[in-house]
Structure 1
Amino acid sequence: MRIRLLTALLAAGLAASVLAGCSGGGGQSDGADSGKIVVVQGVDTESGDPANQSATPSLNIGYLQFDPLVLRDASLKIKPGVATKWKVVNDRTWRFTLREGVKFHDGTALTADDVVYTFTRLLDPKKNFKNRSNVDVIEKAVKVDDHTVDIVTKAPYGPLLARLLEAPIVPKAYIEKVGDEEFARKPIGSGPYKFVRWDRDSEYVMDAFDGYWGEKPKNKQVVFKTIAEASVRVAALKTGAADIIVNVPPELVAQVDGQPETKLAPIHGVRTIFVGMNTFVKPLNDPKVRQALNYAIDRKALIKGILGGRARLTGVAFGPQIHGWDDGIRDSAYEYDPAKAKQLLADAGYPNGLTLPFEAPRGRYMKDAELAEAIAGQLAKAGVKTKLRISDWGTFWPKTVAKKQQGLFLMGLGNTLLDADYYYKLYFSSEGRGYFHNKTMDKVIAAQQTNLDEASRLEQLKRLHEQVVETAPWVFLWDQDDLYAQRSDLCGWKPRPEERIDVVTAHRCPK
């Protein structure tokens, strides 16, 4: 009880400081008279440099400052971006015609030189950018003329257009002048908003860019604030210090849904939630142990009791919105069966159970810390004790992508490609940053990437899904529902399933 009271007092104090710093008070949205939109996420961006923006909260900021060659519209279809059209020259070369008149925020023109520089820089292994692995199917970019560029892949690669979403175009002259570190602190792009200020772990401020080539923003300024505590995010929304907030916990939904000044904005997302495992260390290198952990989890109870029903049970690596989903593998792949879990542990040589380290973030996913505690409790009933550690995202994410997790870790993955290749290449192949791979799957992953026959490629993706489920490199959980909330006087904004927060058309509703 004393801990809960202390938590409440701390949250209240933080809420007061947040509201004092950014609210106009009186229940009116802070941006009502200024044309400002305030978005509150649970964690801050990793960098201002899109080459190092690998997590969704970072990408949400990058999407607004930078433009890739192609974009994805609200229906999730690929559409022209900096490139107006493209064609396949041969099975390894795609030719892109660049849009004329595109300007960076410093007024310089975006040309083929910037496109070539973007890919050359991103692919440079010496720079070790986080997003390099997203586009390393590309061998090089070649200038044809000032408004034409060839993208040459290492081998035939069907989903290239979706991969290009991960490579926003950056200004060659500016970066060469100021260097990578300064660019990461004060970025310049060609997107609908330009950089103003970044107070780390507090707020990231952008103004609308009048010279944008596309649809002009219907607001003057966007501020992304960082508030890890869900109750404080809700308080910020209710008092007008925020216009949009993420990850509303189920127990707080009633406070924002259907209220005069706020409303819930839910959507079925594509983010899959799972418990990752370092399969390169004992005892997690044994598939029987990994399967046992899957049988030890009562997913339905967690969804009902912790998430208030706000998730879609999959029990496999990803859900049906992702290309490569196998309809033959459903949520019964690992039904809750603690007795079977114990038997598998005994078969693996652990009749008396075992102990594993377990780390989870706080504030990144819906009820993440609470879920980790509940999962640890369920594992204990099957004989698996855990040393649970709850970390802030700024600690957890760099450690995880650096492959420094030694046991279990609670994670969620979105999928900007909407293609299973994203998971396989980045998390289940020897070329990726995951904690599992084998030679057999490496061969199939490589084969589907070069397969330009989409029907046969889909079958390859399905077979890969079967292998992933069987080998159990994760404790498979569910696809998370995304619970946003917004001010009722905010018009022109809707949540998207891939978690992009696009506020270009957001504005105050007419009175």
Structure 2
Amino acid sequence: MTSLPLRAALAAVILGAAGNLAAKPLVVCTEASPEGFDIVQYTTAVTADASAETVFNRLVDFKPGTTDIQPALAERWDISQDGLTYTFHLRQGVKFHTTDYFKPTREFNADDVLWSLNRQLDPNHPWHAKTSVGYPYFESMAFKALLKSVSKTDDHTVVITLTRPEAPFLRDMAMAFTSVYSAEYGDQLLKAGKTGDLNSKPIGTGPFIFQRYNKDAQVRYKPNPDYFRGKPPADALVFAITTDSNVRLQKLRANECQVALYPKPTDVPSIKSDPQFKVAETDALVTGYIAMNTQHKYLSDVRVRKAINLAFDRQTHIEQLFGKGNATEAINPYPSSMLGNNVSITNPKQDLVKARALLKEAGMPEGTVLTLYTRNGGGPTNPNPRLSAEMLQADLAKIGIKLDIRVMEWAEMLRRAKAGEADLISSGWASDNGDPDNFLGPLLSCEAARNGENYARWCNEKFQDLIVRGRELSNDDERRWVYAEALKVYDDDQPWINMAHPKMFTAMRDNVEGYVINPLTNNNFATTRVK
């Protein structure tokens, strides 16, 4: 018979072994710092990953790995015959996060949906003015003109009435800017005079509960035990902010992180060859581009913008940045697989003689200096921003333009780009909903030019009329024609240097399970665990 002390020792060993088989922390090496956690103020994917995909939910979500919608905080919905009224029937029993700074006294209900949407819609809402940057997505997607009213019929039924039919509306409602906040938490912060805490101490219903953010270092979360889809399997979630893709790979090899986002495409073959690792990949709905500020001297002349495009060696650029087969040439602002792609448009081949002639015609002096803002570190739309900038610099030097490259931290670059400081801005965009309007509205509309999200500051009324019409149509064939016409207007004016539609990669250790890569590029770790 085993003695009591020995039994205790064996029990401790068995419990320890069981603990080793249980949930483990998941550390994800991310490419940049979030701008904040009040997601309605921001449009970047890294900020959405740190807030919308972890802390918050929406009425509807996208099915993992697809652009198809599924129920979330709304269990089901009804649409009126005229397409103007959407009635959402809310899920019951959903709990908001409990933290050391907020203890909810009730479950999620219709008041939270009304608070979240009317905050952006209604100028008289007590929280409407509590942001210095406005509501960029809400504004650039013309939701203020689209939403006639947001109301409730009872605690579990929300009615949204539109001013016009909107083809992508349900997909729009799965986007980060429609995330649902706790009205009770909002009231608490307003009463205490701590409205800034909404951006630094978020509360939601999502799979993870925010714990702390060490600026430019890490964001830490714990799993939500009451999550309505089930507690996430990871013991903790940590975003380790690592701007350099080489360093992300080093940390993955050292097991300092188990997932490394956005490795350089040229590194992918060596990662795949190592049995310790695996790589998820997808033809993501993304575009890399350089916006030309059409409100600045010389760049306001379409001849100068065309000359810059003629100087750009696009094929060499793509091959050097992405490697063979990892990206396709961008001709339109969104990938060719999407609705309305205009196949009659082609990019100009490099022609330095013609480019110089256009500059002379436009009166742009030899040796004119243009500034280019780009980010430090690399992401999916540009794995090596410094190299990309230097290659463009060399191309423009051949036609007598000097490029002043200014590399800065991601959030700082975005702030200054929105303020319209730069001549050229190296940027990229990932689709939020798989609809062409999600590229054309937030990036190229007149609304986006006014709020700064349209870095080119390009506002073309013919283009604007076409994309507004495209939103209102429900027939795909009609929408296809309208967007093809809009892309022709865009091509005639050339506010961007079209660069590439890259594949997206996520590297991870072999013992990571449950991660689903998404063509919309958002990263959700609610089902991911480390064995």
TM-score with structure 1 setting the length? 0.88
2:25 to 36, 57, 66: 36
Q: Distance in 1 between matches of 2:525 and 2:281?
A: 16
- Give runs of aligned pairs for residues 93-492 of structure 1, distance below 5 A: 93-106=85-98, 108-123=106-121, 124=123, 126-127=129-130, 128-133=134-139, 134=141, 135-136=143-144, 137-164=146-173, 165=175, 166-179=177-190, 180-253=195-268, 255-309=270-324, 310-329=326-345, 332-350=346-364, 352=366, 354-365=368-379, 366-401=383-418, 403-432=419-448, 433-434=453-454, 435-492=457-514
Q: Is the 8 A contact 1:262 1:486 kept in 2?
A: yes
Q: Aligned pair in 2 of structure 1 residues 33, 405: CA closer, same or farther (>3 Å)?
A: farther
What is the aligned length? 476
- 3-state SS of 2:290 partner: strand
Deviation at 1:34, TM superposition (A): 5.3
Q: Which has the larger radius of gyration?
A: 2
Give the distance between the partners of 2:48 and 2:160, measured in 1 at CA: 23
Structure 2 counterpart SS, 1:63: coil
Instruction: State the AA in 1 paired with 2:118.
Output: T
Contact residue 292 and residue 425 of structure 2 kept, 8 A: yes
Q: Is the 8 A contact 2:288 2:499 kept in 1?
A: yes
Verify the 8 A CA contact 1:218 1:504 in the aligned structure 2: yes
Q: Match of 2:3?
A: none
Residues in 2 aligned to 1:260 and 1:321: alpha-carbon distance in whole angstroms: 33
Checking the alignment, whether the CA contact within 8 Å between 1:427 and 1:436 is kept in structure 2 is no
Aligned to 1:46: 35
Counterparts of 1:63 and 1:158, CA distance in 2: 24
Q: Which amino acid aligns with 2:424?
A: L
> 2: CA distance between counterparts of 1:313 and 1:169?
37
Question: One-letter code of the match for 1:411?
Answer: S
Query: Which of the numbers 51, 57, 75 marks the counterpart of 1:84?
Result: 75
Please point out which of 65, 75, 90 is paired with 2:55.
Answer: 65
CA distance, structure 1, for counterparts of residue 44 and residue 299 of structure 2: 26
For the residues of structure 2 that align with 1:243 and 1:139, how far apart are their CA atoms? 46
Q: CA deviation at 1:353?
A: 5.8
Give the counterpart letter for 1:176 in structure 2. D
CA contact (8 A) 2:333 2:440 kept: no
| CA positional deviation for 1:215 | 4.2
CA 1:223–1:297 in structure 2 vs 1: closer, same or farther (change >3 Å)?
Answer: same
Partner of 2:522: 500
Query: Alpha-carbon deviation of 1:80?
Result: 0.9
Which AA in structure 2 matches 1:58? T
Contact 2:219 2:238 (C-alpha < 8 Å) held by counterparts:
yes
State the SS of the aligned residue for 2:335. Answer: coil
* Conservation of the 8 A alpha-carbon contact between 2:318 and 2:499: no
Counterpart-to-counterpart distance in 1, 2:223 and 2:352: 55
**d(CA) in 2 for partners of 1:317, 1:184:** 31
Q: Which amino acid aligns with 2:129?
A: K
In the superposition, the TM-score normalised over structure 2's length comes to 0.85
Name the structure 1 match of 2:14: none
Residue pair 1:86, 1:95 contacting (<8 A) in 2 also: yes
| Equivalent-residue separation in structure 2 for 1:438 and 1:177 (angstroms) | 44
- How far did 1:251 drift? 4.7
Instruction: Describe the SS at the equivalent of 1:186.
Output: coil
1:119–1:140 CA contact under 8 A, matched in 2: no
RMSD, matched Cα: 2.0
SS at 1:342 equivalent: helix
Q: How far apart, in 2, do the equivalents of 1:58 and 1:151 lie?
A: 27
Q: Which runs of 5+ in 1 are unaligned?
A: 1-30
1:256-279: CA deviation from partner (whole Å, max 9, x where unpaired): 332132233332222201110110
List structure 1 segments (4+ residues) > 4 angstroms apart after TM superposition. Answer: 31-34
**Counterparts of 2:264 and 2:344, CA distance in 1:** 32
CA distance in 2, matches of 1:453, 1:34: 48
Q: Following TM superposition, by how much is the alpha carbon of 1:253 offset from its aligned partner in structure 2, in angstroms? A: 3.5
Q: Structure 1, residues 126-150: CA drift from partner, whole Å, max 9, x if none?
A: 3423433244332331111111111
Q: What is the deviation of 1:349?
A: 2.3
User: 2:4: which partner in 1?
Assistant: none
Equivalents in 1 of 2:217, 2:26: separation in Å?
16
More divergent stretch after superposition (409-418 vs 354-363): 354-363
Distance in 2 between residues matched to 1:417 and 1:269, nearest whole Å = 12
Q: Is the 8 A contact 2:303 2:358 kept in 1?
A: yes
The equivalent residue for 1:28 is: none
Q: 2:280 touches 2:507 (CA, 8 Å); kept in 1?
A: yes
- 1:20: which partner in 2? none
Deviation track 1:301-343 (CA, whole Å, cap 9, x = no partner) reads: 01112322332112332212433322333xx322222222222
